[in-house]
Amino acid sequence: MHEEVTHPCIQHKLALIRDIDTGHKMFRELATEITMFVCYEALKNIRVKEVDVETPLTTARCHMIDEDIVVIPILRAGIGMLDGILSLIPSARVGFVGLERDEETAQPATYYEKMPLQVKNGISIIIDPMLATGGSTVAAINMLKEQGAGRIVVVCIVTCPEGLAAVHEAHPDVNVYTASIDPGLNEKKYIVPGLGDAGDRLYGTK
Ligand code: PRP
Ligand code: URA
Protein backbone atom coordinates (compact mmCIF):
# COMPACT_ATOMS: atom_id res chain seq x y z
CA MET A 1 0.00 0.00 0.00
CA HIS A 2 1.15 3.53 -0.62
CA GLU A 3 -0.40 6.90 0.07
CA GLU A 4 0.34 10.28 -1.48
CA VAL A 5 -0.42 12.93 1.13
CA THR A 6 -1.69 15.85 -0.91
CA HIS A 7 -2.76 18.54 1.54
CA PRO A 8 -2.51 22.10 0.12
CA CYS A 9 0.02 23.00 2.85
CA ILE A 10 2.28 20.18 1.62
CA GLN A 11 1.79 21.09 -2.03
CA HIS A 12 2.82 24.67 -1.28
CA LYS A 13 5.97 23.54 0.48
CA LEU A 14 6.72 21.02 -2.30
CA ALA A 15 6.64 23.85 -4.84
CA LEU A 16 9.22 25.71 -2.75
CA ILE A 17 11.51 22.73 -2.08
CA ARG A 18 11.59 21.76 -5.78
CA ASP A 19 12.66 25.28 -6.82
CA ILE A 20 16.28 25.39 -8.04
CA ASP A 21 16.64 28.79 -6.36
CA THR A 22 15.86 27.41 -2.88
CA GLY A 23 19.14 27.37 -0.94
CA HIS A 24 20.26 24.75 1.60
CA LYS A 25 18.97 26.60 4.69
CA MET A 26 15.44 26.87 3.35
CA PHE A 27 15.65 23.39 1.80
CA ARG A 28 16.37 21.94 5.25
CA GLU A 29 13.51 23.86 6.85
CA LEU A 30 11.08 22.71 4.16
CA ALA A 31 12.25 19.08 4.42
CA THR A 32 11.53 19.21 8.17
CA GLU A 33 8.09 20.75 7.67
CA ILE A 34 7.01 18.38 4.88
CA THR A 35 8.24 15.42 6.92
CA MET A 36 6.03 16.45 9.84
CA PHE A 37 2.94 16.52 7.63
CA VAL A 38 3.64 13.20 5.91
CA CYS A 39 4.63 11.43 9.14
CA TYR A 40 1.48 12.72 10.85
CA GLU A 41 -0.48 10.74 8.25
CA ALA A 42 1.83 7.72 8.34
CA LEU A 43 1.41 7.39 12.11
CA LYS A 44 -2.37 7.52 12.15
CA ASN A 45 -2.76 3.80 12.89
CA ILE A 46 -0.13 3.30 15.59
CA ARG A 47 -1.32 1.59 18.75
CA VAL A 48 -2.49 3.68 21.69
CA LYS A 49 -3.40 2.72 25.24
CA GLU A 50 -6.06 4.19 27.50
CA VAL A 51 -4.83 6.24 30.44
CA ASP A 52 -6.67 8.16 33.13
CA VAL A 53 -5.51 11.75 33.55
CA GLU A 54 -6.56 14.03 36.43
CA THR A 55 -7.64 17.38 35.02
CA PRO A 56 -8.36 20.28 37.40
CA LEU A 57 -12.04 19.20 37.24
CA THR A 58 -12.22 15.42 37.03
CA THR A 59 -10.68 12.28 35.57
CA ALA A 60 -10.37 12.19 31.80
CA ARG A 61 -10.02 8.96 29.83
CA CYS A 62 -7.17 9.72 27.40
CA HIS A 63 -4.98 7.84 24.91
CA MET A 64 -1.20 7.69 24.68
CA ILE A 65 1.11 6.03 22.13
CA ASP A 66 1.82 2.43 23.15
CA GLU A 67 4.52 1.34 20.69
CA ASP A 68 8.28 1.34 20.58
CA ILE A 69 9.04 3.50 17.56
CA VAL A 70 12.40 3.32 15.81
CA VAL A 71 13.17 5.90 13.14
CA ILE A 72 15.80 4.92 10.57
CA PRO A 73 17.18 7.72 8.40
CA ILE A 74 19.04 6.45 5.32
CA LEU A 75 22.31 8.41 5.35
CA ARG A 76 22.87 10.92 4.38
CA ALA A 77 19.77 12.66 3.00
CA GLY A 78 17.46 10.87 5.47
CA ILE A 79 19.01 12.92 8.27
CA GLY A 80 17.24 15.91 6.73
CA MET A 81 13.92 14.38 7.80
CA LEU A 82 14.94 13.40 11.33
CA ASP A 83 14.06 16.64 13.15
CA GLY A 84 10.61 16.61 11.56
CA ILE A 85 9.66 13.15 12.75
CA LEU A 86 11.30 13.54 16.18
CA SER A 87 9.24 16.65 16.81
CA LEU A 88 6.15 14.43 16.43
CA ILE A 89 7.54 11.51 18.47
CA PRO A 90 10.32 12.86 20.71
CA SER A 91 10.74 9.51 22.48
CA ALA A 92 11.48 7.55 19.31
CA ARG A 93 14.74 5.61 19.11
CA VAL A 94 16.98 6.19 16.09
CA GLY A 95 18.84 3.62 13.99
CA PHE A 96 21.12 4.45 11.09
CA VAL A 97 21.81 2.87 7.75
CA GLY A 98 24.44 4.33 5.44
CA LEU A 99 23.74 3.64 1.78
CA GLU A 100 25.15 5.38 -1.27
CA ARG A 101 24.05 4.96 -4.85
CA ASP A 102 26.79 4.40 -7.39
CA GLU A 103 26.60 7.35 -9.79
CA GLU A 104 26.98 5.11 -12.86
CA THR A 105 24.92 2.03 -12.00
CA ALA A 106 22.49 3.53 -9.42
CA GLN A 107 23.12 0.41 -7.28
CA PRO A 108 23.25 1.10 -3.51
CA ALA A 109 26.28 0.13 -1.42
CA THR A 110 26.11 -0.13 2.39
CA TYR A 111 28.77 1.69 4.43
CA TYR A 112 27.22 1.91 7.92
CA GLU A 113 24.58 0.28 10.06
CA LYS A 114 23.56 0.64 13.71
CA MET A 115 20.10 -0.41 14.91
CA PRO A 116 18.42 -0.37 18.31
CA LEU A 117 17.26 -3.83 19.50
CA GLN A 118 13.68 -2.49 19.61
CA VAL A 119 13.31 -2.93 15.83
CA LYS A 120 12.33 -6.54 16.70
CA ASN A 121 9.15 -5.66 18.60
CA GLY A 122 8.38 -2.08 17.67
CA ILE A 123 7.50 -0.25 14.51
CA SER A 124 10.37 0.82 12.25
CA ILE A 125 10.00 3.96 10.15
CA ILE A 126 12.53 4.38 7.34
CA ILE A 127 12.97 7.99 6.26
CA ASP A 128 14.64 9.14 3.04
CA PRO A 129 13.53 12.13 0.94
CA MET A 130 13.97 10.26 -2.36
CA LEU A 131 12.60 6.85 -3.32
CA ALA A 132 13.85 6.69 -6.92
CA THR A 133 14.64 3.19 -8.30
CA GLY A 134 13.83 1.86 -4.83
CA GLY A 135 17.21 0.12 -4.56
CA SER A 136 18.28 1.97 -1.38
CA THR A 137 14.94 1.57 0.36
CA VAL A 138 14.69 -2.13 -0.50
CA ALA A 139 18.25 -2.65 0.81
CA ALA A 140 17.34 -0.86 4.07
CA ILE A 141 14.19 -2.99 4.46
CA ASN A 142 16.22 -6.17 3.78
CA MET A 143 18.68 -5.16 6.50
CA LEU A 144 15.90 -4.45 9.00
CA LYS A 145 14.17 -7.75 8.30
CA GLU A 146 17.49 -9.61 8.75
CA GLN A 147 17.58 -8.04 12.21
CA GLY A 148 14.09 -9.31 12.99
CA ALA A 149 12.04 -6.18 12.30
CA GLY A 150 8.35 -6.90 11.98
CA ARG A 151 6.37 -3.81 11.10
CA ILE A 152 8.13 -1.43 8.72
CA VAL A 153 6.85 1.82 7.21
CA VAL A 154 8.63 4.04 4.66
CA VAL A 155 8.22 7.82 4.60
CA CYS A 156 9.70 9.84 1.75
CA ILE A 157 9.15 13.26 0.22
CA VAL A 158 9.20 12.40 -3.49
CA THR A 159 8.87 9.07 -5.25
CA CYS A 160 7.77 7.69 -8.64
CA PRO A 161 5.97 4.59 -9.95
CA GLU A 162 9.25 2.67 -10.51
CA GLY A 163 10.35 3.09 -6.89
CA LEU A 164 6.96 2.19 -5.48
CA ALA A 165 6.76 -0.91 -7.69
CA ALA A 166 10.22 -2.06 -6.54
CA VAL A 167 9.32 -1.74 -2.86
CA HIS A 168 5.89 -3.34 -3.23
CA GLU A 169 7.30 -6.26 -5.26
CA ALA A 170 10.11 -7.01 -2.81
CA HIS A 171 8.15 -6.19 0.36
CA PRO A 172 4.37 -6.18 -0.11
CA ASP A 173 3.89 -5.84 3.67
CA VAL A 174 5.63 -2.43 3.81
CA ASN A 175 3.51 0.72 3.43
CA VAL A 176 4.96 3.83 1.79
CA TYR A 177 3.86 7.41 2.54
CA THR A 178 5.00 10.28 0.34
CA ALA A 179 4.27 13.91 -0.41
CA SER A 180 4.46 13.30 -4.17
CA ILE A 181 4.42 10.52 -6.75
CA ASP A 182 6.24 12.12 -9.67
CA PRO A 183 5.87 10.79 -13.26
CA GLY A 184 9.16 8.83 -13.48
CA LEU A 185 12.96 8.62 -13.70
CA ASN A 186 15.37 10.14 -16.20
CA GLU A 187 18.29 8.29 -17.84
CA LYS A 188 20.47 8.92 -14.76
CA LYS A 189 17.77 7.43 -12.50
CA TYR A 190 16.86 10.80 -11.00
CA ILE A 191 13.21 11.47 -10.25
CA VAL A 192 11.62 13.96 -12.69
CA PRO A 193 10.61 16.63 -12.12
CA GLY A 194 11.86 15.73 -8.61
CA LEU A 195 14.00 18.14 -6.67
CA GLY A 196 17.49 17.14 -7.76
CA ASP A 197 20.10 15.55 -5.49
CA ALA A 198 18.52 15.76 -2.05
CA GLY A 199 21.77 15.17 -0.13
CA ASP A 200 23.61 17.90 -2.02
CA ARG A 201 20.74 20.35 -1.64
CA LEU A 202 20.37 19.65 2.10
CA TYR A 203 24.04 20.02 2.91
CA GLY A 204 25.23 22.51 0.31
CA THR A 205 27.67 20.10 -1.34
CA LYS A 206 28.44 20.42 -5.09
C1 PRP B 1 19.84 9.23 -2.62
C2 PRP B 1 18.55 9.30 -1.81
C3 PRP B 1 18.23 7.84 -1.60
C4 PRP B 1 18.67 7.22 -2.91
C5 PRP B 1 17.46 7.05 -3.78
O6 PRP B 1 20.92 9.03 -1.80
O7 PRP B 1 18.68 10.02 -0.63
O8 PRP B 1 18.92 7.25 -0.51
O9 PRP B 1 19.60 8.14 -3.52
O10 PRP B 1 17.76 6.37 -4.92
P11 PRP B 1 17.28 4.88 -5.22
O12 PRP B 1 15.83 4.79 -4.81
O13 PRP B 1 17.47 4.75 -6.71
O14 PRP B 1 18.15 3.93 -4.45
P15 PRP B 1 22.43 8.97 -2.34
O16 PRP B 1 22.79 7.56 -2.66
O17 PRP B 1 22.60 9.95 -3.44
O18 PRP B 1 23.30 9.34 -1.07
P19 PRP B 1 23.32 10.67 -0.17
O20 PRP B 1 22.05 10.68 0.62
O21 PRP B 1 24.52 10.45 0.68
O22 PRP B 1 23.45 11.88 -1.06
N1 URA C 1 18.73 10.62 -5.33
C2 URA C 1 18.39 11.93 -5.23
O3 URA C 1 18.90 12.65 -4.38
N4 URA C 1 17.50 12.42 -6.13
C5 URA C 1 16.93 11.65 -7.07
O6 URA C 1 16.10 12.15 -7.85
C7 URA C 1 17.29 10.29 -7.15
C8 URA C 1 18.19 9.80 -6.26
For the question of residue 21 being annotated catalytic, the response is no
Mean pLDDT of 93-122: 94
Residue 92: band (very low, low, confident or very high) from pLDDT cuts 50, 70, 90: very high
Q: Cα dist. 79→3, 51, 105 in Å?
A: 22, 33, 24
Ligand 2 atom closest to Cα of residue 191? 6
Ligand 1 geometric centre to CA of 41 (Å)? 23
- Type of residue at 56: P
CB within 8 Å of 135: residues ≥ 6 apart: 101, 106, 107, 108, 166
* Residues near ligand 2 (Cβ within 6 A): 77, 130, 132, 190-191, 194, 197-199
Mean model confidence pLDDT for the chain: 97
C-alpha torsion 96→180→197→71, nearest 10:
-10
Question: Annotated catalytic residue: which of 19, 105, 173, 205?
Answer: 105
Q: Among the CATH numbers 3.40.50.2020, 3.40.50.300, 3.40.50.10140, 3.50.50.60, which is that of 2-203?
A: 3.40.50.2020
Residue 206: band (very low, low, confident or very high) from pLDDT cuts 50, 70, 90: confident
- Best of 197, 201, 206 to mutate for ligand 2, by most ligand atoms within 8 A of CB? 197
List the chain domain ranges: 2-203
pLDDT digits (tens, 9 = 90+) for 124-181: 999 999 999 999 999 999 999 999 999 999 999 999 999 999 999 999 999 999 999 9
pLDDT digits (tens, 9 = 90+) for 175-198: 999 999 999 999 999 999 999 999
Question: Annotated catalytic residue: which of 28, 101, 128, 201?
Answer: 101
